[in-house]
Amino acid sequence: MMPLHLKKGRDGEAAAMQYLQKQGYRIICQNWRYKNLEVDIIAEEDNILVFVEVKTRTSHAYGMPYEFVDYAKQAKLTRAANHYIAAMKHGGEIRFDIVSILYAAESKTYDMRLIRDAFWPD
């Protein structure tokens, strides 16, 4: 059986993919990996390649989910994106978005917030 925190994350990613598709994103892949690096969702919106980090939390007691995409996480995402760009020989625009999700277990609902262009690598 999958640990609860992993199931919560996987369910959050699935909800985020549906949400992004409704926003007009075209999903290219999910959970793209290169060695120890991972991008939750790689998508395209208006001919821009978008690397999406999904953060799901059940409480905002320690901060909003998007606040957990700290500098170290941004650096890992940037490295992963650079490997993807090189592998796919992508030459166009890119962007980093965050889908911040608060999951209410009692009502089984997701409160989602899309942050476009959430950060830019150094």
**pLDDT over 80 (residue 51):** yes
66 in a domain, yes or no? Answer: yes
| Dist CA 9 CA 58 (whole Å) | 10
> What pLDDT is attached to residue 94?
98
122 in a domain, yes or no? Answer: no
* Nearest Cα to Cα of residue 55 among 16, 107, 95: 16
Give the residue numbers spanning the domain of 38.
4-115
Range 31-38 contact pairs with CB under 8 angstroms and sequence separation of 24 or more: 32/80, 32/84, 34/80, 34/83, 34/84, 34/87, 37/76, 37/77, 37/79, 37/80, 37/83, 38/80
Q: What CATH number has the domain bearing residue 87?
A: 3.40.1350.10
8 in a domain, yes or no? Answer: yes
40 in a domain, yes or no? Answer: yes
When pLDDT is cut at 50, 70 and 90, the band that residue 2 belongs to is: confident
| Dist CA 115 CA 100 (whole Å) | 8
pLDDT digits (tens, 9 = 90+) for 72-117: 999 999 999 999 999 999 999 999 999 999 998 888 889 999 999 9
Could you tell me which residue, 66 or 1, shows the higher pLDDT? Answer: 66
> What pLDDT is attached to residue 9?
80
121 in a domain, yes or no? Answer: no
The number of folded domains in the chain is 1
How much is the average pLDDT of 58-69?
A: 92
* Nearest Cα to Cα of residue 50 among 37, 41, 58: 41
> What pLDDT is attached to residue 17?
97
* Nearest Cα to Cα of residue 51 among 90, 77, 25: 77
44 in a domain, yes or no? Answer: yes
103 in a domain, yes or no? Answer: yes
**pLDDT over 90 (residue 10):** no
> What pLDDT is attached to residue 48?
98
37 in a domain, yes or no? Answer: yes
